[in-house]
Amino acid sequence: MLEHYNVAVLPARPRKPKDKAKAEVGVQVVERWIMARIRHEIFYSLASLNQRIRELLERLNNKIMQKLGYSRAELFIQLDKPALKPLPEASYSYTLVKKVRVHADYHVEIDKHYYSVPCSLLGQQLEAWISGELVRLFNQGQEVAVHPRKRTYGYSTRNEHMPEAHRQHATWTPERLLEWAGHIGSETHSYVLHTELVHIRNKAIASALDS
């Protein structure tokens, strides 16, 4: 997240509250100005609670501070806002990073979905970066595969990840297989057609059971 927004964090030392005295004071102000005011109020949704906090926070930020003669909102506009950089065009997307192992079928499993990687990486341990939209896979810091994130059981396979024999096999569509069988003979065509229909039926049943 820090890299995405191009910012740095200077953390305080553990158990040294004086290192962040202004932050501690800010927490106290919020506790007294906001939390104390709503402690006896009842909220029936998170949205209504957030709306109430937002109202009180706006009042707090616009309140004139006695010693300075300015509000927090005015100081933000004068001091902080001019120093801020524009936000990135894309919002930050939370990313989970975990280790995954490449299976014998050159796929890795993430949340019951299988994603392909180059077949040369069989047995390797990779690093998976999993966001809401993408699954990115790295081998020793080098990106080796990117897939759209899926949340259902199944396989996401790229042709370029397959061994040559598998790529050739993938070109045999049901239509091509039936055409080939027809050239051999009517009985072969009937057998292949029956086998394909059984496969389609079983696949439909399995899909219904998984849903």
Give residue-wise pLDDT tens across range 144-182.
999 999 999 999 999 899 888 877 766 667 777 778 778
Is the predicted pLDDT of residue 137 greater than 70, yes or no? yes
Is the predicted pLDDT of residue 191 greater than 90, yes or no? no
Number of domains in the chain: 3
Residues 38 and 69 in one domain: yes
For residue 179, what are the domain limits?
A: 172-206
Residues 176 and 133 in one domain: no
Residues 130 and 155 in one domain: yes
Structure tokens at 173: 């569509």
89 falls within a domain: no
For the chain, give the mean pLDDT: 87
Q: How far is CA 9 from CA 2, 48, 78, 135, in A?
A: 8, 32, 23, 27
Structure tokens at 51: 């709306």
Residues 162 and 104 in one domain: yes
pLDDT at 138: 98
Paired residues of 148 in beta bridges: 134
Residues 126 and 158 in one domain: yes
Give residue-wise pLDDT tens across range 9-22.
888 888 887 888 88
Is the predicted pLDDT of residue 69 greater than 90, yes or no? yes
176 falls within a domain: yes
Radius of gyration of the chain measured on its C-alpha atoms: 29
